[in-house]
């Protein structure tokens, strides 16, 4: 059941960090810390620096997010 009060934005992965964490530069210029969603993790989707991704942010903490989709480079 998806949450309805989330913010979905597009960005580009700039750096891969330990524990499946990534630095993502959003389209609006902000840089956030994001982790991979369970769906991507279960299907072994690899994310590399330079990949275009869709990130879901919580309205409570806009500095952290969850990567829910990996697009084309």
pLDDT at 3 over 90: no
What confidence category does residue 2 fall into, taking pLDDT thresholds of 50, 70 and 90?
low
- In the structure, how many helices (H) and strands (E) does the chain have? 1, 5
Looking at 3.40.50.720, 2.40.50.140, 1.10.1040.10, 3.40.190.10, the CATH number of the domain 7-70 comes to 2.40.50.140
State the pTM of this model.
Answer: 0.89
Binned at pLDDT 50, 70 and 90, residue 11 comes out as: very high
SS3 assignment, position 15: strand
DSSP state of 46: -
What are 43-63's pLDDT values in tens digits?
999 999 999 999 999 999 999
pLDDT at residue 29 in the model: 94
- 4 vs 63, residue with greater confidence: 63
């Amino acid at each position: 059941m998806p949450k309805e009060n989330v913010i979905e934005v597009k960005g580009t992965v700039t750096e891969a960090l330990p524990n499946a964490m990534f630095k993502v530069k959003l389209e609006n210029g902000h840089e956030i810390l994001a982790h991979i969603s369970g769906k991507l993790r279960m299907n072994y989707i690899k994310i590399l620096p330079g990949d275009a991704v869709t990130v879901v942010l919580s309205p409570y903490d806009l500095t952290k997010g969850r990567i829910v989709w990996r697009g084309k480079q």
